[in-house]
Structure 1
Amino acid sequence: MSKFKVGDKVNLIIKNKITTGEISRAQMKGGVEGYLIGNVECWTPNAKAWREEGQISAVELPEIPQFVADNIEKNKREDMALYNSLYVIVEYLDMDSDMYKWLEKDENVALYAEAWIKGYEIEKEQLYYVRILKDNVRGFLNQLNYGGKGALFIDDCIHSTESKTQFTKEEVLELDKNLAPFMVKVEELEGETW
């Protein structure tokens, strides 16, 4: 049984050089494990040994926020080098921007560079319920499902197919910044019934 499957991103060491690629074929044939990574065929009884010795390994992509991914893609489209991209952010972006604030942490500078070089996955945004009291009854903010523009109402329902009950922080603040104190992380209410 092959450890990797088609579509997996992997590092492969060939002649002491690391090659990163995506597996376009992975199969067993006559007890031989084989991979096609880019244009490199690892169709050999040694493919299993390579994997076990760490010469072929899964690529762990860094997780970054969507706004960071947008910045990387924009700068790559403009044919910027990594150094120039970071320079532009530090020298020309507003110090109050999310991107500038994110890069103030040293570990995020390294994460940005790693995402630029290896690729990345988008962090899942934290989702919230907005728990509100109405007429001394606990309820939750609901929004009818009309592309994010439906009517808002309070209901005791937090699981509905007709209305949206989970919001990102940004969505809540766009609706009304005064709702922020009523935000509850979705995980905090898991398993509770309403």
Structure 2
Amino acid sequence: MKAKHELKIEHKYFQAVKDGRKKFEIRKNDRGFQEGDLLILREYDPITQEFLGRIMKVEISYMTDYAQQDGYVVLGIEEIWEGEELTEIKKVVIPKFVAEFLGSHWEDGEPAKEDKADLIRNQEHYIRSFGTSELKNWIVKADNFILFVEAAMNGYEVEKEKLYYVELPVSIWNEHLGELETKYGYLKYDITSDETKIAVCDPWNLRNFKSKLTEETIKSIDERYWAFAVEVEG
């Protein structure tokens, strides 16, 4: 099943792809690109911030992140003929606070009256309306307004929040050595009772003593704990 991703592309690059001279795209991998996915490339003028009307469909034939900036990939692309069947529109992934904004302003994350083109034409108005909020800081990043529009129009998935252990140095009396030694304790948080404790545990049985917590939860318990947060792998 092919997924479809709609992307803007500057005129000079659009033409190079159209002419067959440019057979790759370097993109931030915030869409979960996969080989075989389809890209809908929309010709765009960055000066007027308007789409120029031409659209081209290409297929991802190859992917690599070799020697790229963190989070970016090189996509090998091949133009495809009109009429290829699109069986799935892949939803964009957005942070939780963006999803909360969409949910509070538009029922089911859908604009009531405006279409996608209108949202894009009036992006400055929307950005100004966000004030100095966390949302504005996210939306002014490269291409994030397009992500915002796609989320509003086509639906979205919420980005999974990172989880952390809180690893704290604890002094323990070693009876065999007759002195204090430093071990690591882990914050255990019971959300039902809002109770916290620090436990030193057997390294082979960490799961019974560690709590996986979000940054927000850790800071809500005590801001000072954040300095000892260790991201949970996987």
TM-score, normalised on structure 1?
0.59
**Equivalence map 1:44-123=2 (5 Å):** 54-77=84-107, 79=112, 81=114, 83=119, 89-95=126-132, 97-123=133-159
> What secondary structure is seen at the aligned counterpart in 2 of 1:159?
helix
Q: Which has the higher strand share?
A: 2
Q: CA deviation at 1:56?
A: 3.1
Identity value in percent: 25
Whole-angstrom distance in 2 between the partners of 1:107 and 1:89 = 15
Q: CA deviation at 1:178?
A: 1.3
1:180 aligns with 2:226: yes
> What secondary structure is seen at the aligned counterpart in 1 of 2:207?
coil
**Equivalence map 1:159-174=2 (5 Å):** 159-160=207-208, 165-174=211-220
| Residue 153 (structure 1) aligns with | 197
Q: Which has the higher helix share?
A: 1
Whole-angstrom distance in 2 between the partners of 1:103 and 1:111 = 9
CA-based RMSD of the aligned residues comes to 3.1
Give the length in aligned residue pairs.
136
Q: CA deviation at 1:54?
A: 3.7
Unaligned residue ranges in structure 1 (runs of 5+): 12-52
TM-score, normalised on structure 2?
0.50
Whole-angstrom distance in 2 between the partners of 1:185 and 1:62 = 24
Unaligned residue ranges in structure 2 (runs of 5+): 6-82, 172-181
| Distance change in 2, residues 1:137/1:80 (3 Å) | farther
CA deviation map 1:53-95 (0-9, x unaligned): 8403222111001111111122223836363995565223331
Whole-angstrom distance in 1 between the partners of 2:84 and 2:200 = 53
| Residue 140 (structure 1) aligns with | 186
